[in-house]
Structure 1
Amino acid sequence: MSLGKTIKKIREQKGMLQKQVAAELNIGTTNYNKLENGNREPSVKELQQLATLFDLTVDQVLNFEDDMPKEVSLENKTEMEQFKLIQQLEEEDKQTVMKIINTMLTKAKFKDFFNKNIATL
């Protein structure tokens, strides 16, 4: 499925009109229509705006299938994209991820501290 058709499908599933999305992107309805029809590609900024508007990540928009996005992986994502994906988790899952990260960071700091102090003995 083309990106334009994917964007149209998501927009329709969200119950939005083309003119609403065009206004959010700050482009004319004709330009937006060209985007959905595949006559022009969205800019990176527009793609980011669409993802925010649709409450999805850019990755989820690009890999959208049927009613659900494809499996999303943190591999090969920027730190900002990774953080946005984590922020979409349910609160309990988000807290669990943050506890794991905090534990790993604390272990790394203790290991670094230990290695520096042992080296001075």
Structure 2
Amino acid sequence: MQKEVATAAGIHASNYSKIAKGERKPSIEALDKIAKLFGMTVDEVIHFEGKVPMEVKIKDKTVSEKLQLIDQLEQAIFRIIEGMLTKTKFKDFFQKNVAAL
């Protein structure tokens, strides 16, 4: 659940974990996204006096799923670019050093 909330808030899961433990304060943007995710206002989150439920179900997972897909796509693009750069560097090295022999 923490990973879904972190994704919806646009923050890394480890940062969300620190926020949940009180070790770090969320940005206003992250706090606003978290409040909307739970159907609350920022004021209700800040001044929360109710009992924390054991399980919270997100009714509309489409936003969360889209954010996860974007994150996966971003990682795939970085891997492709890294592979292309490595291939280009190897090709340049080969041409300069091995092909000259």
Give the TM-score normalised by the residue count of structure 1: 0.40
Larger radius of gyration: 2
RCO higher in structure (CA 8 A, sep ≥6): 2
